[in-house]
Amino acid sequence: MLPLPDKPSLAVMPFQNMSGDPEQEYFADGMVEEIITALSRIRWLFVIARNSSFTYKGQAVDVKRVGRDLGVRYVVEGAVRKADGRVRVTAQLLDALNGTHLWADRFDGSLEDVFDLQDKIASSVAGVIEPALQAAETARSADRPTNDLTAYDLYLRAYEMYFSSAQQIPAALCLLERAIERDPRYGPALAWAAVCCLRLEADGSGTDPEVDSRKSVDFARRALQVAGDDPGTLANAALALAYFGEDIGSIMALIDRALALNPSFARGWYIRAILLLFAGEFDRAIESAEASLRLSPRGRFGQVFNVIGASHLFSRRFDEALPKLLLATQDDPSFPTPYRYLGACFAHMGRLNEALEVIARLRSMTSVVVSGADCFRKAEHREFYLAGLRMAAGETG
């Protein structure tokens, strides 16, 4: 059981898709994502990340258990019905401590008004949580990311693909590029496209690393031009630029700005941890990664544990690095990076047979075993990592 934070805390559960069409699941999920984002911008409200609340998808939810599992006081439930160009959203707010209903409402509108409906829901929920919030309007960007609903659909599909498996990233990038063709100033799509290109280069799953790196930087710079005050766009663009060598201090300022806009942004804390890993500030990287886990305690943990494990590895705390890296490989077995860190860890521990086994698994998913280490800003860290990786791969030169 997690303790309650020292400020109002809330989790938004997956909304039921009442459209009678399983293909519309992504639309209902996207509705919840937008509501979570809007609520998270209220700085004095602690909001659990989508990846944790969505572990309950398809289950009958016991709000008291959710409150205990996630450490929140309030739970939002709802349903979405989308048909014939119309949307109906129903939502209710419950006290997770005693299960009582605090508020319920229904919102109807056309698809063209779907974004306004999301704001109304978020504002109504916020107004009930605490009397002090009643005079406050949910913070949001002055302009919507896009008014093109086809581009929005493509973005939602790509978002789901990205988090399903590393193997889905090329397909997710294709969808994002189609969204960008429809709306060249669609900030979230541009930023996620930058991240997808980064992953193709880093994972070794692309066809041309130079093209992937060039595209990633271009997408990131275009995203920043239209980011405004959107924390997700700022953070994802910052990640891509940091990986490909942008000044780490300038990029850290972007992350700090994103977290100032949305202190409950779990992915923002995760990206901050990556930047600190690149900078060689390993203990601070672990602190930021743990903050991300607290905000998303039931989300996909592999990438966060990958950062924690790598930070311990570079700090020569091999016994602490090993279990985190093993967990990272189990969360998404198609994600290559943890295998590289794990192989290097075994090698530096002198456990070369186990290192070779890890590298054999890595070779089954990518031909790129000894990857570049330019993202690490200090030469001694690059040399340490590559030395371990080469030992693990059986290279002597």
Question: What is the identity of the amino acid at 392?
Answer: A
Beta carbons of 74 and 47 less than 8 angstroms apart: no
| Whether residue 155 is found in the same domain as residue 128 | no
Confidence tier at 34 by pLDDT (50, 70, 90): confident
How many other CB atoms are found less than 10 A from the CB of residue 333? 16
| Whether residue 159 is found in the same domain as residue 128 | no
Confidence tier at 368 by pLDDT (50, 70, 90): confident
Bridge partners, residue 93, by sequence: 76, 103
Give mean pLDDT, residues 266-290: 96
CATH code of 124's domain = 3.40.50.10610
Max Cα–Cα distance, the chain, nearest Å: 67
| Whether residue 88 is found in the same domain as residue 17 | yes
DSSP 24: G
Bridge partners, residue 12, by sequence: 76
pLDDT digits (tens, 9 = 90+) for 335-345: 999 999 999 99
Residues 6+ apart with CB under 8 A from 63: 75, 77, 94, 95, 96, 99
Residue count of the chain, please give it: 397
Please count the structural domains in the chain.
3
Mean pLDDT, all residues of the chain: 86
| Whether residue 152 is found in the same domain as residue 129 | no
DSSP 166: G
Domain boundary among the residues 87, 105, 133 is at: 133
| Whether residue 119 is found in the same domain as residue 37 | yes
Asked whether residue 305 is assigned to any structural domain, the reply reads: yes
The DSSP-derived string for 130-165 is -GGGTTPPPP--SS-S-S-HHHHHHHHHHHHHHHH-
| Residue 214: pLDDT over 90 | yes
Query: CA 303 to CA 82: how far, in whole Å?
Result: 34
Q: What is the pLDDT, as a whole number, of residue 64? A: 93
Residues 6+ apart with CB under 8 A from 21: none
Low-confidence winner among 70-79, 178-187, 296-305, 364-373 (lowest mean pLDDT): 296-305
pLDDT digits (tens, 9 = 90+) for 69-105: 999 888 989 998 887 778 888 888 888 888 888 888 8
Structural domain boundaries, residue 196: 146-263
Q: What is the pLDDT, as a whole number, of residue 324? A: 96
Q: CA 309, 312, 313, 314: dihedral to nearest 10 degrees? A: 130
Confidence tier at 321 by pLDDT (50, 70, 90): very high
Domain boundary among the residues 105, 133, 161 is at: 133
Asked whether residue 274 is assigned to any structural domain, the reply reads: no
| Residue 346: pLDDT over 80 | yes
Q: What is the pLDDT, as a whole number, of residue 147? A: 67
Asked whether residue 37 is assigned to any structural domain, the reply reads: yes
pLDDT digits (tens, 9 = 90+) for 131-148: 333 322 223 333 456 667
Beta carbons of 237 and 191 less than 8 angstroms apart: yes
Low-confidence winner among 15-24, 157-166, 271-280 (lowest mean pLDDT): 15-24
| Whether residue 390 is found in the same domain as residue 306 | yes
Q: What is the pLDDT, as a whole number, of residue 394? A: 84
Asked whether residue 2 is assigned to any structural domain, the reply reads: no
| Whether residue 183 is found in the same domain as residue 224 | yes
How would you classify the pairing of strands 101-110 and 86-95?
antiparallel
CATH code of 209's domain = 1.25.40.10
| Whether residue 110 is found in the same domain as residue 186 | no
Beta carbons of 61 and 77 less than 8 angstroms apart: yes
Domain boundary among the residues 133, 166, 184 is at: 133
| Whether residue 120 is found in the same domain as residue 154 | no
| Residue 32: pLDDT over 70 | yes
Structure tokens at 35: 């509501």
Confidence tier at 384 by pLDDT (50, 70, 90): very high
| Whether residue 257 is found in the same domain as residue 335 | no
DSSP 188: H
Asked whether residue 74 is assigned to any structural domain, the reply reads: yes
DSSP 325: H
Q: What is the pLDDT, as a whole number, of residue 369? A: 86
Q: What is the pLDDT, as a whole number, of residue 336? A: 93
- CA neighbor of 251 nearest in space, from 260, 266, 238: 238
Asked whether residue 212 is assigned to any structural domain, the reply reads: yes
Asked whether residue 283 is assigned to any structural domain, the reply reads: no
Asked whether residue 140 is assigned to any structural domain, the reply reads: no
Q: What is the pLDDT, as a whole number, of residue 100? A: 83
Confidence tier at 124 by pLDDT (50, 70, 90): low
